[in-house]
Each structure stands twice: as C-alpha cells, then as structure tokens.
Structure 1
C-alpha cells in the first residue's frame, strides 16, 4: 500500500519544514521528496553531523541521500539549480532531481523585474524572481520545464519574447546573466517527467513551502506569496496517484516569526537562546526576521482551513525550536485533535522527540 507524509507550515514560513523533512527522510530512506509549491526562494536548512546545507532548488531530503521531485506548482531557476547542485556534490548529497514538464521556469528577466519593481519591494519579496515568474505565467509569455529540452533555437525565441514582455534592452549585466542561464540549461541533466514516475515509489514525502498564512488565497493581501501553501496541491497529487494513506505533519516554532513585510499578530522582541544556526537572517529584500509569541487563534485558523482541502489518515503536530524559547507550548488550546505530538530540541533532526 502506498503512503504519503505531507509537511505543512502553520505560520508565515520558517517553521522548520527542512528539519522535519530530514527527520522523516531518515526513517524512510527509499522515499522521494516532493516539493508541491514555491520554488528557489525556499531556504530549508538541514544539518547532519558536521554537514549543513540550505535547500532551495533541491528538496530537503537531498543531504540525507533522497532524490527530489519538483511538481508543476513549483518554479525552477536553472542558474540557481546548477549552483546548488555543485554545493550538494561537495557534501555527497543526492543531486538527482526530477521535474514536472509544467513546472514554471524563472529567467534572469524575472529576477531583475522582481528586484526593481517598487510594488514587489513594498509587498515583500525574496528577490529570486518567483513572484514575477508566476505573474508572467498569467500572460501569454510562458516558459515551462519542458521548454528546457526543446531545440535551442526555440528556447532562444521564447527568451527574446520574455525580454520584450518586460521591455528589457541588451546590457552587459543582462547578457552575462542570460549567458549563465543558457550555460546552466546546457550543463544540467534534465529529468523531465510527469506524476506517473512517482508510482515507482511506495512512500512519498511532500515538503511544503512558506506557510499557510502566506497562501495566495488565504493570506492578508498583498503581502502573500504566489502559491497555494496549504496542502491543496499535495492532496491533488495524491488523488492522481490514488494514495489514500496520507499522514499530515503540521509545523510551528515555539514562537512566531515573519520574514518580510505585512501584518503579524502579537509582534514583539523575544529573548532567544541556542539560535546560532539561524539561517533566516537580514537581507536587502526581506530585512530582519521578525518575532512574536504564538497566537493560538491563528494556529487554529490555519489548522481548520487546511483540513478543508483533503482527508488524512493521521494528523501530527511538530513544535520546533523548543530549545530556543522556553515558554510552554499549550497544546490544549488547539481545537484539532492530533495523533502524535513531536518536539525539536536542536537544529538536528536526531533530537526530534515524540512527546505524546
């Protein structure tokens, strides 16, 4: 019987989806990890002994040795994918990645537009072109993963039309970015395949992106991401694969965070400890990581909302960063009943504990 584990962030992202994916991967080494939303803007940190990798263009099972699969709901950036592949190779990670033919491709034009568009900067952006890519795909100027294995002349024509869509003219900086983009396309070993390929695995791990409170349909607009960050896409893929046994893992830190602009409940400075491995740090686009105490009404909102997207055979909750903030997690304030409660007491998945 085929089984699936679905990982969902309950907040604004940065909840601990990477460490949770690695924990599940360590228990299911014959699995494949599937990204079902988001793209190269993810920053999912995994530490194994003395090895550390931040997974963006690969799934968070790669350092553990599992292959990756990016669904049609994801974006990919060939240049960033090549850079991360080279980093993973040095760590002996698994650089095998399969990509759905309809995954959306980010170009250098999307990245520049993302970074120079004042509305994007005001609304919040990671500066990696994901939002611009998704917005462009609402127009006629599309570029899919399948186009990366088309004749080069056809790919070049599509890139020219995307440049004209943005109104870009040739420049030395832009030419260098496009040259590296094309070099990456030619260098990478593209494994483009549909969902039927996933039928060769008995166990699937679905790794979410961002968090439910940034969902394009349910977050506070305009400070949202261009993605369904609920379990919606994962359930649809499970339906296609006829997987009935679906186990949910809902993730939250022991405190609230938000990286980027937008509303946040009960924002305040917190005195944290043991957070030397924090990888969500200041950058020019999202600025500082923001903190607050947990809002249990928001957690219940996210949990009830996600339950509307599909049935599961088991529901679990994972509380990460319990070593950083010592306030007791009040599970009794949650209106959803869980089959298991897990806690994370360090940035290493080996320190996951089943609490009840």
Structure 2
C-alpha cells in the first residue's frame, strides 16, 4: 500500500548509515502489518462497503508513524481509498482458491514449478538477520505461500551464480573491493533488477552455499553465468572461514558472527576460451569442467544445470528430474 512505501523510504532515510538497504517498495512494512493482523488483504477489497473503515484505521496508524516518529509527510486517506476501490474491481475476476487449483493439478498428474525470489540467506528465519528480506525465501515459503504440502515437492533446484553477489547491507566474506570485483560487476551486468543498484561481487562462497543446500534440501544445483569467468588466469573458491582463530566449514548463525569471518580459499586455474553460448558439457574447456566439478564435490550437491549465457537455450542440462 502507499503508506507501506512511505514508511519504508522514510525509515531507511532516518537510519542513515545503519540502513538495511531495502528496495524501498514497502515490502517490510507490509509484512509487519500481516503479522500484526492489521493488513488490508485481497479479500477485504471484495467488500467495498467495509473497506473504508478498515483502511481508515490502517492509514491513521501509519500516518502517526510517519509524522510523529519519522518526521515525514503523511499519505492522503481519500486517495488511498479511491485507488483501493479501483484495485478491488480490477482484481476481483482474478481471485480464486489457489491451494485447491494446485491440488487438482497434482491429482490429475500435472507438473507444477514453484519459483522462489531472492536468496536463501535472505530468509527472515535462516538468513543473515537483520540484513534479510521480510519473508521465508527458502523452500518452506513455497509451501506456506501456496497451501500445498511438503509431499508435493518432488525436486528442489538451487540456483547459484559461478561467483557471488549481494545487494544492500550485510556480511559478505568473499566480497572483492578491487578491480576483480569491478570486473565481475561489469561483465556480469550486476545491477539490482528492482532498483538498479550496483551489486556487491565476490568469489563463490561454498560455506554459504552449503548452508543453502542444508536448509532447503536442495537436490541439484543450477550454476549460472559461467561465461562471466572467461579469461581469468585463476579463480578462487571459498571452502571455509577463519572465525576467531578457528577454521569453520559452516557459517555462524548470526550476522555479527558472519561479519567476523575471513574466507579460506582454494585456487583453480582459469580458462582463456569463451564458454558463452556453449550447450554441450564436453565442449566446455577442461578447466571450466574441473571448476564446476569441484564446486559440486565441495558443496555436497549434484550439478544439474550449467548456464553459459543470457539466452534461454544457453543451457547444459546434466540432471533432469523429469527424465
């Protein structure tokens, strides 16, 4: 809602250097309302005679936060109500019982693909809190968000770049603050899809990847943007952390602890040939195949897909769950 966006932006501005680095789209405040049970839900839009009172309460609450705490401008109730009533008319034909639709598809033998957003370690429960999003971005989020059961998930594909990126604040042990980091950003076109912000870039982090595999029950890895690494003399892979004088192969469970970690690297020879657009595993440079197999072995998760370019067909499928 407009007041969620206003609160999100005002709160980030007020936080200064302590800002989390949200997209400014109001996602966090919207989830706060959901948990506090004061949300305007899609179902509420279907009852236009009851909506004004519900919306008045929500707008008053958020305007108090905006004006009294964040010292920002309030939102206009009449405008929000007018827009919400129009949204209700537009959305009404699209509303249905999603859980039942999905159940019927499964019963009739159909396949369903659930696509998660963001990254496993941005999960509100299992991520680098508080530098996380406001939802469950792990496999459990697909269950809670759709109303299907755990037995309806047959295969979990984890998607991972051939290097590591992060948007916004938070710990990032393998981040590169040098020419290599800038090269990855430029060649990989690493700018936020929602905001256009430059992504932080670094070497692939198998400690973080192993945590993602663990908390999602990942069956296979899809490694993308292999071609971004073309032309490098050497490629580093983080296999462990040095944490308070000890070696750790699993990450701490809190952001402060994670921020203390220093990466322990293995170096692999790079390749000078172009991998862009290659669609056959055997046509990849030997060094590229060795790098990918090392990631597979060290992460403990089978390699399923390798993507070598932005085109949909620039894909090598090694493990087809439906074959």
| Same fold per superposition (TM over 0.5) | yes
Q: 1:144 to 1:322 in 2, by over 3 A?
A: same
Contact 1:141–1:165 (8 Å) recurs in 2: no
Aligned pair in 2 of structure 1 residues 166, 237: CA closer, same or farther (>3 Å)? closer
More helix by share: 2
Q: Which blocks of at least 5 consecutive residues in structure 1 are unaligned? A: 1-106
Match of 1:352 among 292, 302, 315: 315
* CA–CA distance in structure 1, aligned partners of residues 60 and 116 of structure 2: 33
**Map of 2:87 onto structure 1:** 184
Kept in 2, the 8 Å contact 1:281–1:289? The answer is: no
User: Which one of 34, 42, 53 corresponds to residue 157 of structure 1?
Assistant: 53
Query: Which residue of structure 2 lines up, in the alignment, with residue 292 of structure 1?
Result: 202
1:217-262, Cα deviation, whole Å (9 max, x unpaired): 1222211111111111335679845745611100111111111111
Radius of gyration: which is bigger? 2
Tell me what 1:203 maps to: 111
Deviations 1:264-308 (A, max 9, x none): 1210114236545x552694xx8421111111111112211222x
Question: Partner of 1:146 in structure 2?
Answer: 43
TM-score, scaled to structure 2:
0.65
2:167 aligned residue (227, 248, 259): 259
Relative distance call for 1:299 and 1:343 in structure 2 (3 A) is: same
Closer, same or farther: CA 317–297 of 1 in aligned 2, 3 Å: same
What is the CA-CA distance between 1:207 and the residue it aligns to? 0.7
Q: 1: CA distance between counterparts of 2:172 and 2:224? A: 19
Q: Which residue of 2 aligns with 1:116?
A: 10
- Could you tell me the TM-score, scaled by structure 1's length? 0.59
Count matched residues: 239
2 CA distance for matches of 1:212 and 1:350? 26
- Ranked by relative contact order (alpha carbons within 8 Å, sequence separation 6 or more), the top structure is 1
Please tell me whether residue 301 in structure 1 is matched to residue 205 in structure 2: no
Aligned equivalents of 2:299, 2:198: Cα separation in 1 = 32
Quick check: 1:299–1:334 contact (8 Å CA) kept in 2? no
**CA 1:141/1:235 → structure 2, altered by over 3 Å: closer, same or farther?**
closer
Contact 2:121 2:212 in 1 (8 A): yes
- Aligned position for 1:134: 31
Q: Decide which of 293, 304, 310 is 1:341's aligned counterpart.
A: 304
Tell me by how many angstroms 1:110 deviates: 0.9
Structure 2 partner of 1:71:
none
Whole-angstrom distance in 2 between the partners of 1:122 and 1:237: 28
Contact 2:143 2:149 in 1 (8 A): no
| SS class of match (2:215) | helix
Greater shift in the superposed pair: 231-240 or 245-254:
231-240
